[in-house]
Structure 1
Amino acid sequence: MKKQKILVVSDTHKMHVNFDLVLEKEKPFDVLFHAGDVEGREWEIEYGSGCPAYVVAGNNDFFGQLPPEVEIKMGPHKIFMTHGHHYFVSMTLDHLKREARARGADIVIFGHTHKPCLKFEEDMIIMNPGSLTYPRQENRLPSYIVLEMDEEGKVEGEIRYV
């Protein structure tokens, strides 16, 4: 059974050394999601990854033309991605989850906090890959998420560290 490999990153903040390392380490993958605070090289992320790439604007992406949010259908899932700062994710995930449900999304990707999380809840998968540049979680290791989705839409994933 063929599985799709999905790479999820965020908060690279102009410094793409770890991003480039992760690209090489994880290739090949089928889809790339970047949850914002790119601060440059958007075109390289979108077109240089060799696969479909979705990138949203973060609170530090002042000069680009990135969308603030992305909604896409992938298999039986609807994915909602936003940087998260407009949904107060540093304090609670309640606003973000409410918005995702209102949009009919069952997979939510966000960034902003620089702290990785991957939660498989009853009706929703919520993830933040952390930051590849300025990690803020206890071990302070740059992080990202790799997901695999099978043909029936079953999703498995893990937080990985550089």
Structure 2
Amino acid sequence: MKRVLVVSDSHGNMGNLSEVIKRSKDIDMLIHLGDIQGEDELLRSMCNFPVEIVRGNCDFETNNKLYLTIELECHKIFATHGHAYGVEWGIERLSYAALEEGCDIAMYGHTHVPEIIQGDDITVINPGSISRPRQMNHKPSYILMELLDNGEVFYNLNYFEK
């Protein structure tokens, strides 16, 4: 089993994310979906596991890519911030881009609103924002993804409580 912490839109405020990392048990990887705003090395220094980061629309001085494909267990993940795929108007372009890359999971941020949409061909997830939430409850959020050895995947949406 692999446990992956999925976060987005920390916007340079690493307090909540630091606390989530401390509280999370047995994490194998962290995926940050952009708008980290220059805190890449600080994030990597907080983790004793691999960290993948994509470039968000507020990440100006970075070499991070607009999207990554990540293979874990028997799944292929398309990770992006989402602004280049117009996610504020829907997930269709993002879903098609992920499918074209042979992915069965697509992850994005940008909207600061968490969601998990499980379809026949692809699952699309957004962890929301770890520092600037926009959904009704206004709680910082993240997703803990568990990939089982038998191919099953579980997505646990969590809200950060101080």
Contact 2:105 2:123 in 1 (8 A): yes
Give the corresponding residue for 2:15: 17
Number of residue equivalences: 160
TM-score, L = length of structure 2 = 0.95
Query: What secondary structure is seen at the aligned counterpart in 2 of 1:139?
Result: coil
**Worse-matched range after superposition: 22-31 or 136-145:** 22-31
Deviation at 1:125?
1.4
Give the corresponding residue for 2:104: 106
Gaps in structure 1 of 5+ consecutive residues: none
TM-score, L = length of structure 1 = 0.95
Deviation at 1:45?
2.1
Is 1:70 matched up with 2:76?
no
Give the partner amino acid of 1:7: L
Task: Find the partner of 1:53 among 51, 54, 57.
Answer: 51
Query: What secondary structure is seen at the aligned counterpart in 1 of 2:5?
Result: strand
Deviation at 1:104?
0.7
**Worse-matched range after superposition: 22-31 or 138-147:** 22-31
Q: Percent identity?
A: 37
Q: Deviations over 1:77-133 (max 9, x none)?
A: 111101000100001100000111111110111000000011221111111100011
Gaps in structure 2 of 5+ consecutive residues: none
**Worse-matched range after superposition: 38-47 or 18-27:** 38-47
Contact 1:46 1:55 in 2 (8 A): no
